[in-house]
Structure 1
């Protein structure tokens, strides 16, 4: 995979969208989904891919969530728990844990992209901190620079 240098999540999404022939739109998860324990979600249709991410977490964790969902797209995962989708049915994958093969593959690819792009690793401590921040409703303010 040809990663943008310097790395940009928007540029990566643009490259993947170009390869797939349909746009990728990033959106914060609806409050109800986040409260149910989902931290990332991919909804793929024949004309567009939507990637939803937990907004009430650290920027590092948000970026990793999006990379994970892009992993599902790149691997061509098409359903949860091995269910088959019809040709016209949208693909909906929600990220809550890493117990099945598709989740493990997407998580590995997200980590490999981070490493290849020279981004800081998201280790277990950072993930724990991000979940704690999310549970507490912490929102980090990003400053332009």
Structure 2
């Protein structure tokens, strides 16, 4: 997947839409849906993909929600697990938990995109336990100065 640097969610949506041959429209969730515990939703029709996200959260969380829903689109998830979709009805996938395989796949892809585009994936810490910790710290936004300062270096 070609990810721009600096990362642009709009550019990613445009590339995915071009590849699928239909636009992706981003919208905040209606308040009632957000209050019910849904923080993201994908509604896929034959002509357009609608991605809804929780509006009353941080910009980073909103972006992650949209990336999660894009994960469903990219993986080609078509229905809630255990439900059949005859191809005529719109695809509707709502994000409330991560207990199904589809939710776990979409969440993993969203996390991988965030790590890759945050710059954390560009440096290669040393292998081994300290290297694994450095990669985790980097993915969580701690920079080398903070690690060195905390370690007394």
Q: TM-score normalised to the size of structure 1?
A: 0.81
Q: Does 1:57 align with 2:57?
A: yes
**Structure showing greater relative contact order (alpha-carbon pairs closer than 8 Å, 6 or more residues apart):** 1
- Indicate the residue corresponding to 1:118 in structure 2: 118
Q: CA deviation at 1:74?
A: 0.2
In structure 1, list runs of 5 or more residues that go unmatched. Answer: 124-145
Pair 51,100 (structure 1): closer, same or farther in 2 beyond 3 Å: same
Q: Number of paired residues? A: 123
Separation of aligned partners in 1, 2:57 and 2:92: 22
Separation of aligned partners in 2, 1:119 and 1:58: 20
Rg: which structure is higher? 2
- Indicate the residue corresponding to 1:96 in structure 2: 96
Q: CA deviation at 1:83?
A: 1.2
Separation of aligned partners in 2, 1:23 and 1:43: 12
Contact kept? 1:68, 1:106, Cα under 8 Å: yes
What is the SS of the residue equivalent to 2:70? helix
Q: Does 1:83 align with 2:83?
A: yes
- Indicate the residue corresponding to 1:133 in structure 2: none
Separation of aligned partners in 1, 2:41 and 2:94: 4
Residues 74-125 of structure 1 deviation map (CA, whole Å, 9 limit, x = unaligned): 00001112312111210000000000000000000000111111267579xx
In structure 2, list runs of 5 or more residues that go unmatched. Answer: 121-138, 142-153
Q: CA RMSD in A?
A: 1.6
Separation of aligned partners in 1, 2:67 and 2:140: 11
Equivalent residue runs for 1:2-81 within 5 Å: 2-81=2-81
Separation of aligned partners in 2, 1:46 and 1:94: 18
